[in-house]
Amino acid sequence: MIEKVREKIYEVKDFPKPGIGFKDITPVVQDAACFKYVVDEMTAWAEKKRPDLIVGIESRGFLFAAPVAHRLGLGMSIIRKKGKLPRKAVTVRAPNEYALEFFEMHEDSVCLGQRVLIIDDLIATGSSSRSAIELVQKLGGETVGFAALVELAFLKGREAILQAYPEVEILALIKYSE
């Protein structure tokens, strides 16, 4: 089934800027069997980490975080780009491959000592992932895992995450080596 999921991911050349090969995962979630498989795999992995809370990163991370949280009977908090949250928020720098951005969470999104599992769609350079972990820590949470559908292994994001946060276990269902 993992090969069927891989086949559903389209590469869009030169998006959002020249030289970037964007991995479009929308066909994965459009296919019921593929979507179910990804959510099942993430849920099984997450369950072993015994999280208290699932956190999804804007916006494609929400696609997987919400059903995983639901299946585990857990709540879900969200990480958004700066200026999108209506209440008092905590902010961290979140540079990515395209620009310098900022991530935010409501200040009451994570409780002190909560075991948090973060979910996103993709790991590239690891900068967004590290920023999300930093944000959870600023709020007093302990990140017990980071899951993504896709890892662009050639960008060495996993290594960057583990260098900054060696205690965080990482799941990527599909890896691209180039």
| Catalytically annotated residue among 6, 71, 93, 97 | 97
Packing angle, helices 60-72 and 32-49, rounded to 10: 60
Q: Are 68 and 49 in contact (CB under 8 A)?
A: no
Catalytic one among 41, 58, 60, 151?
60
- Cβ neighbours for 161, distance < 8 A, ≥ 6 positions apart: 123, 126, 129, 130, 133, 146, 168, 170
Paired tokens of 20: 């970037």
Q: Catalytic annotation on 60? A: yes
CA geometry: angle 72, 128, 176, nearest 5 deg: 80
Q: Which neighbouring-strand residues pair with 94?
A: 101
The answer to whether the beta carbons of residues 75 and 69 sit under 8 Å apart is: yes
- Residues annotated as part of the active site: 60, 97
